[in-house]
Amino acid sequence: MLADDLHTPETASPTTNGTAETLERLAREQKSRKKWLLVQPKSSTSMMVDSGTVSMPLNLIMVATLAGKLFDVTLIDERTGDPVPQDFSGYDVVAITSRTLNAKNAYSIGDRAKAQGKIVLLGGVHPTMLNDEARSHCTSVIYGEVESVWEELATDIIRGTMKSFYKASELRQMTTMHRPDFSYALNSPHAKKYSALIPILATKGCPVGCSFCTTPTIYGKSFRFREMDLVLDEMRAHQERLGKKTVRFSFMDDNISFRPQYFTDLLEGMSKLGVRWNANISMNFLHKPEVAEIAGRSGCDLMSIGFESLNPDVLKSMNKGSNRLHNYETAVGNLHKNGIAIQGYFMFGFDDDDEKSFQATYDFIMQNRIEFPVFSLVTPFPGTPFFEEMKPRVRHFDWDKYDTYHYMYEPKKISGEKLLENFIKLQREVYKGSAIMKRMQGKPLNWVWFVNFLMNRFTRKLTPEIYL
Ligand code: B12
Ligand code: SF4
């Protein structure tokens, strides 16, 4: 697909003054401001997902920023060590975010709060995808982004007229997105557990449409973006707050580069700020040397790329049209020439995978000196076309195992046993001392080296049983 064919979706107009006034009036009518507890539950995965430092939960910070204008809001993050109360008597509303890997925990918190008569909201990708399942654990499920349903939801909470499901008929423009108020996370007594990287959002959506990804289902083929100046202003505000220029940002965008003009304009703006940043990016823009050149110049030190597979049949089956094998090396070369390290994502376990997929991936990583390879087992996430296709073959529906590190179904061309044997072998080979030296020699001595060191220790402990 040509990038210029992409269009922003037809969107509803941003919050009108009328609506804002209604909300203000309703808020004044409240005898006292309702008290909200926002909860980021932890997962029970044993893999390196919720361990060490974790990223600040931009999703809940966005909910807190909106809710804080009308209600008293407390945000707790169980991943950093904040305890989730047994007794919710200090709150009127308990609002929980959930992905699949922490859904069981989110549901049990929801059940507890509901049993105590609280208004319980469940939002995030898992309740969005499986809203029927989620409904029994809460008062209301919020489908997709909170911004698009906020006025209706807030009004119902103030009036006590809750519906079981909130879904916007249209997505709002991103101009309705408020600047996130990070104090909700930073004031936590456990804030030091947060990564120093500041999450930021410039765009939403991704038109590629991979069959295993939830984004096309939730946001369709739409691609929306914030006004560039809002993004740059947000960066400046963090520079002022922290009293330094070299603040590090991590874009939470699904795929930041889909509007080439917007992307390059934003990067030009960032190049004047002196920030450092990383982002998820699609391969199909990186074969042009100028994209990597401006990314490097604007402070990018890491790009996360879903290479996914070196097997052309696998790429075809996942509908990832943005990945062309003949572009892989050019994309990597362009980034490396500009001093940008690569976090490369690789998935295994598709029906077309066989032992050759592992060898091809190893060769690619070593020859191209990929700094931070990340390996996962393909996971059919509920609500995706891939889940529907694989449902009859899926080995378990225990959401705790949906962390992309579990063996979900037997592929057609390789046995489960061989799949896991090769999966472990590849990780050990790529992260053994000599391989790290080969991939990393001459590269800046920074946290990417440290990650390699951690992965070296981690991969030595892997056994097939942990993936079952
Ligand atoms: C950036 C990103 C990451 C980052 C940062 C994660 C983080 N801490 O937020 C990193 C790289 C660390 C990461 C890691 C992982 N990720 Co990730 N990630 C994303 C991505 C691209 C964007 C998430 C984001 O922050 N968006 C911006 C925020 C503002 O939007 P939002 O999350 O949608 O939140 C809005 C709404 O959902 C809603 N909302 C959310 N919660 C609530 C709660 C309430 C009460 C209400 C009212 C509303 C509400 O309002 C919010 C504001 O608009 C998503 C794709 C996507 N678009 O969701 C995948 C995604 C969430 N990741 C995914 C996965 C699988 C993972 C990993 C398991 C991968 C791995 N093996 O390591 C880990 C798990 C980490 C964890 N502990 O949860 C999957 C999850 C699928 C699923 N069904 O659970 C997604 C959906 C991608 C996909 N494959 O489809 N991820
Ligand atoms: S390119 Fe990435 S964000 Fe876009 S649909 Fe595929 S996996 Fe999802």
pLDDT tens per residue across span 6-28: 333 333 334 444 577 777 888 78
Per-position DSSP letters for 8-22, written without gaps between them:
PPP-BPP--HHHHHH
Amino acid residing at 143:
Y
- CATH 3.20.20.70 residue spans of the chain: 196-467
The pair of structure tokens assigned to 105 is 């925990």
- Portions of the chain given CATH number 3.40.50.2300: 18-166
Q: Supply the CATH classification number for the domain 18-166.
A: 3.40.50.2300
Q: Is the dihedral of CA 315, 320, 321, 327 positive or negative?
A: negative
What average pLDDT does range 58-84 have in this prediction? Answer: 96
Higher pLDDT, 74 or 259: 74
Ligand 2 pocket residue status of 378, Cβ below 6 Å = no
The CA distance from 389 to 113, in Å, is 35
- For the segment 388-420, what is each residue's pLDDT rounded down to a tens digit? 999 999 999 999 999 999 999 999 999 999 999
CA 233 to ligand 1 centroid distance, Å: 24
Please tell me the distance between residue 256's alpha carbon and the centre of ligand 1 in angstroms.
15
Helix or strand holding residue 376 (H, E): strand 372-377
Contacts of 173 (CB under 8 A, 6+ apart): 8, 11, 12, 13, 14, 224
SS3 state of residue 123? strand
pLDDT higher at 22 or 380 = 380
Q: Is the pLDDT of residue 73 over 80?
A: yes
| Ligand 2 close to Cβ of residue 215 (< 6 A) | yes
Establish whether residue 427 lines the binding site of ligand 2, counting it when its CB lies within 6 angstroms of any ligand atom. Answer: no
Distance from the alpha carbon of residue 178 to the mean position of ligand 1, in angstroms: 19
Q: Does 214 sit in the ligand 1 pocket, CB within 6 Å?
A: yes
> Which residues contact residue 393 at a Cβ distance below 8 angstroms, ignoring those fewer than 6 apart?
409, 410
* Cα–Cα distance measured from residue 6 to residue 258, given in angstroms and rounded to the nearest whole number: 8
Using the structure block, give the residue that is written with the tokens 């995706």.
384
- Please report which residue ranges of 327-431 form alpha helices under DSSP H: 328-337, 355-368, 385-390, 416-430
Mean pLDDT of 286-300: 94
Other residues' Cβ atoms within 10 Å of the Cβ of residue 343: 18
| 314 contacts 353 by C-beta, under 8 angstroms | yes
Which residue CA neighbors atom 6 of ligand 1 most closely?
55
Counts for the chain of helices (H) and strands (E), in that order: 18, 14
* Closest atom of ligand 2 to CA, residue 214: 8
Is the minimum distance from the CB of 383 to ligand 2 under 6 angstroms?
no
pLDDT at 18: 57
CB 333, CB 360: distance < 8 Å = no
Whether 91 has a pLDDT exceeding 80, the answer reads yes
**Average pLDDT of the chain?**
92
pLDDT attached to residue 4: 30
Predicted pLDDT at 13: 38
Coil, strand or helix: which one is 293? helix
Indicate the top mutation candidate among 203, 219, 253, 254 to test ligand 2's pocket, ranked by most ligand atoms within 8 A of CB. Answer: 254
pLDDT at residue 144 above 90?
yes
Structure tokens at 332: 């990597």
37 CB within 6 A, ligand 1:
no
The CATH topology of domain 196-467 is TIM Barrel (3.20.20)
pTM for the full predicted model: 0.94
Note the pLDDT of residue 48.
64
Q: What is the mean predicted confidence (pLDDT) over 331-352?
A: 97
Share of the chain above pLDDT 70, in %: 95
Cβ atoms 200, 275 nearer than 8 A: no
Ligand 1 pocket residue status of 140, Cβ below 6 Å: no
List own/partner pairs for 289-294 with CB under 8 A and 24 or more apart.
289/334, 289/337, 290/264, 291/257, 291/260, 291/263, 291/264, 291/334, 292/334, 292/335, 292/337, 292/338, 292/340, 293/334, 293/338, 294/264, 294/267, 294/268
Query: What DSSP string runs through 53-85?
Result: SB---HHHHHHHHHHTTTSEEEEEEGGGTPPPP
Phi, psi for residue 284 in degrees, rounded to 5: -70, -5
Q: What is the residue with the minimal CA distance to atom 71 of ligand 1?
A: 404
| Residue with more model confidence, 215 or 4 | 215
Reported as a single tens digit per residue, the pLDDT across 436-466 is: 999 999 999 988 999 999 999 999 999 999 9
Q: Is residue 93 over pLDDT 50?
A: yes
- Reported as a pLDDT band with limits 50, 70 and 90, residue 207 is confident
Name all contacts of 28-32 with Cβ < 8 Å and 24+ positions apart: 29/158, 30/70, 30/158
Identify the helix (H) or strand (E) that includes residue 96.
strand 93-97
Distance 278 CA to ligand 2 centre (A): 17
CA distance 198 to 388: 35
What ligand is nearest to the CA atom of residue 252? Answer: 1
Interhelix angle 328-337/289-297, nearest 10 degrees: 30
